[in-house]
Homo-oligomer: A and B are copies of this chain.
């Protein structure tokens, strides 16, 4: 008894499916009319189920939130205390990269707030475990860890599938830096300087003539 009529349920599913497809193509720039067309419904229907574009995107991102939480719980239950934060961070990064959800949804969306809250609690516990077991530096806070999580999500977003070495190295470097004692040596980087351009995608936006005026 969802209270929804049969056709409503069907349409909702179709819309979500269409939205996922559109999202795969255009990312968060997906167009509502386009989604409606793909789903074979009117725009009005799309809006009845998802009151705004953002809500629709949130809905698409939702499975990823679930996955993140599941990961955190798994880590909390099975990983050794000292390694929890590291394992979680790596797993989260990989999940984010493979799921293709814009990580910023996770932080932007009001809808994701409960998830964030729960996640924060878990991350805090990881940090705590790590500190207590002496693997993480004693002055690390849950807030610091969360900020790191955020920046890494952004970096992965921006990389958009290209050159995962960059964010993987970033993750390892960061984890290493939070560890107590001498850092492990990372293997030699498999790329040379000068490849940054094009990593973070330019907004294209043609034009950009080298305007050079001041004040």
Which residues of A pack against B, CB within 8 Å?
12, 16, 23-29, 50-55, 58-59, 62-63, 66, 100-102, 104, 107-111, 113-114, 116-117, 120, 124, 137-144, 146-148, 150-152, 154-155, 157-158, 160-161, 166-167, 169-170, 173-174, 176-178, 180-183, 185-189, 191, 193-197, 200-215
Contacts and interface: CB of A to CB of B under 8 A. Distances in A.
Given A27-B215, A147-B155, A154-B154, A141 B189 contact: yes
Copies assembled: 2
A197 B113 contact: yes
A139 B111 CA distance: 41
B143 A191 contact: yes
Given A28-B213, A28-B214, 17 more contacts: A27-B213, A27-B214, A29-B211, A107-B200, A114-B210, A139-B186, A143-B169, A143-B189, A143-B193, A147-B169, A150-B158, A151-B151, A151-B155, A151-B170, A154-B154, A177-B177, A177-B183
